[in-house]
C-alpha cells in the first residue's frame, strides 16, 4: 500500500510491503484487520438499507393496489414502475378517492420520499476508501467534488428511516381499501 508517493512497476514500497505482510500474517493467525471489520460492517448495514428500501417499495405498491381494489389488470399496469411513479399515484388516488386522514397520508408519503432520497444518496454515490474510513464523493457548490465521511451508524439510521416509512405508509392507509396493513415498531440505532 503506497502512502503518499507513487510506486513504479517493479519498484518496492517497503512500508506498504511490510504493512501488507503483517496483515497477511495476522490473517494466518485468525486475526481480522480493523479496516476489514469496519468495511464488512458498512457493507452489512448497506445490505439492510437495500432490503428495507425493497420493503418500502412493496408497502407503497401494496397500498396503491389496495386503494384501487386491484384486479390483475391494475397490478400489471403498476408492476415495474419506478418508486416515484408509485408514490405519485398513491398520493393522487388518496387525494381524489380516499381523502380521510389526508394530512396523515401526506406525511407518510413525504417520509417515504425522504427515506428513499437518503437511500439513493448512499447507494448511488461513488464510494472512496480513505484509510479506515469510507467516504462518498458528493458535488459541492461551484461544481467541485467533496468527500463526505459515512459511518455505519449513519447507514443504520437510513435503514431505520426506511423501516419507519414502511410502518407510516401501512398505518396511514390501514383503514382504506379492502385489506388492513401491517405495523412496524422499532427504535432507531443508538448514536
**DSSP β-ladder status, 126-130 and 133-139:** antiparallel
**Residues 55-92: tens digit of each pLDDT:** 999 999 888 888 877 666 777 777 788 999 999 999 99
Give CA–CA dist 138/65, Å, rounded.
Answer: 36
**Residues 125-151: tens digit of each pLDDT:** 777 766 656 677 666 667 777 777 778
Give CA–CA dist 44/32, Å, rounded.
Answer: 16
Residue boundaries of the structural domains of the chain: 16-172
Amino acid at each position: 500500500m503506497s502512502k503518499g508517493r507513487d510506486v513504479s512497476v517493479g519498484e518496492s514500497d517497503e512500508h506498504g510491503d511490510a504493512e501488507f505482510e503483517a496483515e497477511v500474517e495476522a490473517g494466518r493467525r485468525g486475526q481480522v484487520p480493523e479496516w476489514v471489520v469496519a468495511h464488512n460492517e458498512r457493507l452489512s448495514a448497506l445490505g439492510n438499507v437495500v432490503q428495507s428500501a425493497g420493503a418500502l417499495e412493496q408497502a407503497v405498491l401494496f397500498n396503491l393496489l389496495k386503494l384501487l381494489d386491484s384486479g390483475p389488470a391494475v397490478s400489471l399496469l403498476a408492476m415495474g414502475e419506478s418508486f416515484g411513479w408509485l408514490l405519485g399515484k398513491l398520493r393522487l388516488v388518496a387525494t381524489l378517492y380516499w381523502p380521510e386522514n389526508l394530512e396523515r397520508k401526506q406525511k407518510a408519503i413525504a417520509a417515504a420520499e425522504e427515506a428513499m432520497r437518503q437511500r439513493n444518496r448512499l447507494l448511488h454515490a461513488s464510494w472512496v476508501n480513505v484509510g479506515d474510513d469510507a467516504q462518498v464523493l458528493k458535488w459541492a457548490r461551484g461544481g467541485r467534488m467533496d468527500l463526505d465521511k459515512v459511518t455505519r451508524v449513519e447507514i443504520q439510521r437510513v435503514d431505520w428511516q426506511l423501516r419507519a416509512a414502511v410502518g407510516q405508509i401501512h398505518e396511514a392507509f390501514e383503514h382504506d381499501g379492502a385489506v388492513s396493513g401491517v405495523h412496524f415498531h422499532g427504535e432507531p440505532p443508538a448514536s
